[in-house]
Chain A
């Protein structure tokens, strides 16, 4: 925030009597109304782009070239107009579960993060536990949690809460450690107490990070609610999606997907609006905060020495604790073994069906990898285009920024409808889910080089290709790796969702299979394998990102 622009002479004039030019600077304090207007103005470009896209889409469908599975906007509208009450009937339970889940997730996450402020030693365990909630495949939660919570609103609220928990924890923890050394020293100098330091420095400084987390969490909670409804709800957008998919009603499905997306964006925007009204000072980290929240970058520092042991130890301890708690819980609640496989059963299933689980895991990983390859190629191409053609960036980037923060995996049923039930559906799903984080970070990376470097190349008469080759790409590498890291775990979970819907192959399909046949041991074993794989990918990509960043930025030793 310590900008180093050199002051124009006018502003450094001593301000005695005639202060016309100066006071005009001082009185640019924005009112709430101005802030609102400015915020709305920022939405114009993305909304305009969306409208243009709608018109193009309508024209395209009216040519008759696309397959019948692609409904035009007017057809989707027709499906809505046919029975508007029906949409509201499905929206209300989803919205309610999402909001309640979001509320629970937010309160819990803030509470837990506050505990880590008081006891810094708990930071790493709390963070690792949160990673588990992030890595567990949401789709597998419903059949498992059903045993304890029953198939009702509570189940969907719980899943919505689990979906929203991680971003808020990351936002809070990141925010609470945001104050830099200079401001901390100022507080030292003023002999501020711990409480004063927290109130006067930490809270305001953490707000951009917390809001970044809240925005993502709000959208994630909607996703959690929808996905929980995929498996056996009697109302809700998720159920409506599945019904429209299995009954082959393209218009209805498109309409519901549009409604779900609109709902997600609205909730996200409401939180963003609150953020605008609460944070009224200029802060240039809003974007950075979004990055750190969506990628949870560098949250827990690990030394290079013994990092493997140190990284693994908490997981081992956590796993053992989880198993013990699991057994205790089952004993205390007298859950019948056929409902909730105790660890021995899950373990037995793992031993018995290991080759099946491994096959499906590999299948999922291959799909995720293929999708990631496609999305990386596309994202880098678009990022290059955006960098070279600023107009393209201005009209499309705001949309990309929003979409990257919104879990769009809820559109998976649509992909199944359009792309069929084969392998490529999962790949398409992974591609769409992972495209945006890589795109956003790649654009940022290409633009991250200081102006002086650009000028240096211009002075030497080098064109944009040389600039890309020698400066933009090297500068962007750490950013791209951050994007890949975010995309990695998203990709695996996206592949599983698609598999769950197509019932084809892979861990997601195995989950459906096990749930359908009440093979609880296998269900648990698959859930654990899926979660562990997601965690491992999260850790490996994270370690790679840290190493690359460190090497590129020269922050060794």
Chain B
């Protein structure tokens, strides 16, 4: 592995390194689900890699296996075949060491807990706090713009506010990897774009490696360095599109040539050549 990532165990079994500094890596990953009439292949032969601190996006038609891929990375599901590595180690270890933050499609807050207690839940479960370098739960709540709401219950919050709580919760143990499954899918366009910028600033402040599942071409282009376009079932990587926009990204960049080029490339990859 590359010297600039802090690899502890060096997996040397592979002859060819796909990319020098890959931090998240899937190699030949397939996932089949048993169903009544045999099996459904959700993912087929996925190769993917993302460098440390990178921002990747997964985009593709509904049912192509995006959520499944995040679940595989988070060790919530085992792959049928292939290998998955997070910093050179299997995801099960990363999960047990609480290096993964996950933002589910639905905020999945516990309604009997206040905002603060929801954000604290991972601390409570793991019995540890983020440590000196990390942000405290209160600071995270501030970071996601919910200062003053720490004692509110989820039922008193709007959909966007709940999703921000879920993001704060995912960050509380200072994870190395942040997996986001359509976190803003339920929001209106304006709120969503504001949340996008907020998330980007959180990402750059924490240096976390992020992988975002989205349905929105614009969101993928605005947020990611690299967009992985999945094809419909079975899910395969149809194309990898690099977005050539400087950081930090702003909403104004959505009017630039480079943004349009990225959007068009994504559209072509998704809809097969049109336009």
Chain A CB within 8 A of B125 CB:
yes
CB atoms of B155 and A282 under 8 A apart? yes
Residue of B at shortest CB range from A283? B111
Residue of A at shortest CB range from B146? A15
Q: Give the interface segment out of B50-58, B97-105, B243-251.
A: B97-105
Chain B CB within 8 A of A192 CB:
yes
Chain B CB within 8 A of A281 CB:
yes
Mask, B103-132, CB within 8 Å of A = 1, is 010111011110000000110111000000
CB atoms of A12 and B106 under 8 A apart? no
Distance to closest chain A CB from B111 (angstroms): 5
CB atoms of A281 and B125 under 8 A apart? no
CB atoms of B161 and A11 under 8 A apart? yes
Distance to closest chain B CB from A197 (angstroms): 9
Residues of chain B with a CB closer than 8 A to A2's CB: 106-108
Chain B CB within 8 A of A107 CB:
no
CB atoms of B161 and A12 under 8 A apart? yes
Chain A CB within 8 A of B149 CB:
yes
Contacts A15-B146, A281-B153 given; indicate if A200 touches B124 (C-beta within 8 A).
yes
A11 to B76, CA, bound (A): 33
How many chain B residues have a CB neighbour from A under 8 Å?
Answer: 43
Q: Which among B100, B112, B146, B149 is the interface contact of A189 at CB below 8 angstroms?
A: B100
Chain B CB within 8 A of A201 CB:
yes
Distance to closest chain A CB from B131 (angstroms): 17
CB atoms of A190 and B111 under 8 A apart? no
Chain B CB within 8 A of A553 CB:
no
CB atoms of A183 and B126 under 8 A apart? no
Residues of chain A with a CB closer than 8 A to B107's CB: 2
CB atoms of B126 and A190 under 8 A apart? yes
> Which residues of A in the span 6-56 have a Cβ within 8 Å of any Cβ on B?
6-8, 11-12, 14-16, 19, 22-23, 25-29
CB atoms of B145 and A4 under 8 A apart? no
Residues of chain A with a CB closer than 8 A to B161's CB: 7, 11-12
Contacts A4-B186, A8-B158, A282-B111 given; indicate if A191 touches B148 (C-beta within 8 A).
no
Contacts A2-B106, A11-B158, A12-B191 given; indicate if A22 touches B36 (C-beta within 8 A).
no
Chain A CB within 8 A of B268 CB:
no
Residue of B at shortest CB range from A5? B159
Q: Which among A6, A14, A27, A280 is the interface contact of B194 at CB below 8 angstroms?
A: A14
CB atoms of A25 and B156 under 8 A apart? yes
Mask, A527-545, CB within 8 Å of B = 1, is 0000000000000000000
Chain A CB within 8 A of B151 CB:
yes
CB atoms of B125 and A192 under 8 A apart? yes
A11 to B156, CA, bound (A): 10
Chain A CB within 8 A of B89 CB:
no
Q: Which among A15, A182, A183, A279 is the interface contact of B147 at CB below 8 angstroms?
A: A15
How many chain A residues have a CB neighbour from B under 8 Å?
Answer: 41
A11 to B152, CA, bound (A): 13
CB atoms of B148 and A19 under 8 A apart? yes
Mask, A178-204, CB within 8 Å of B = 1, is 000011011111111000100011001
Residues of chain A with a CB closer than 8 A to B13's CB: none
Contacts A4-B186, A185-B76 given; indicate if A191 touches B155 (C-beta within 8 A).
no
Majority DSSP secondary structure for residues of A touching B: loop
A22 to B153, CA, bound (A): 13
Distance to closest chain A CB from B71 (angstroms): 8
A26 to B158, CA, bound (A): 11
CB atoms of B149 and A191 under 8 A apart? no
Residues of chain B with a CB closer than 8 A to A6's CB: 159, 188
The number of inter-chain residue pairs (CB within 8 angstroms) is 107
CB atoms of B153 and A204 under 8 A apart? no
> Which residues of B in the span 133-186 have a Cβ within 8 Å of any Cβ on A?
145-149, 151-161, 186
A196 to B34, CA, bound (A): 30
Q: Which among A3, A12, A29 is the interface contact of B151 at CB below 8 angstroms?
A: A29
Contacts A7-B161, A11-B158, A12-B160 given; indicate if A26 touches B76 (C-beta within 8 A).
no
**Most interface-central of B110, B155, B160 (chain A CB within 10 A):** B110
Chain B CB within 8 A of A1 CB:
yes
Residues of chain A with a CB closer than 8 A to B76's CB: 185, 188-189
A196 to B121, CA, bound (A): 11
Chain A CB within 8 A of B233 CB:
no
> Which residues of A in the span 350-390 have a Cβ within 8 Å of any Cβ on B?
none
CB atoms of A15 and B111 under 8 A apart? no
CB atoms of A189 and B102 under 8 A apart? yes
A201 to B110, CA, bound (A): 8
A27 to B146, CA, bound (A): 13
A503 to B215, CA, bound (A): 72
Chain B CB within 8 A of A557 CB:
yes
**Most interface-central of A8, A28, A188, A201 (chain B CB within 10 A):** A188
Residues of chain A with a CB closer than 8 A to B36's CB: 557
Residues of chain B with a CB closer than 8 A to A189's CB: 74, 76, 95, 100, 102
- 16 examples of A-B residue contacts, CB within 8 angstroms: A1-B155, A2-B106, A4-B159, A11-B157, A25-B156, A182-B106, A185-B108, A186-B102, A189-B74, A189-B100, A190-B125, A191-B98, A191-B125, A192-B125, A200-B110, A200-B121
- Interface pairs A-B: 9 shortest CB-CB: A7-B158, A282-B155, A11-B158, A281-B112, A26-B152, A12-B160, A204-B112, A190-B125, A14-B145
Known: A26-B151, A201-B110. 8 other contacts (CB 8 A): A1-B154, A4-B159, A7-B159, A11-B157, A22-B149, A196-B124, A281-B113, A282-B155
| Residues in B lying within 8 Å of A, measured CB to CB | 36, 74, 76, 95-96, 98, 100, 102, 104, 106-108, 110-113, 121-122, 124-126, 145-149, 151-161, 186-188, 191, 194, 198
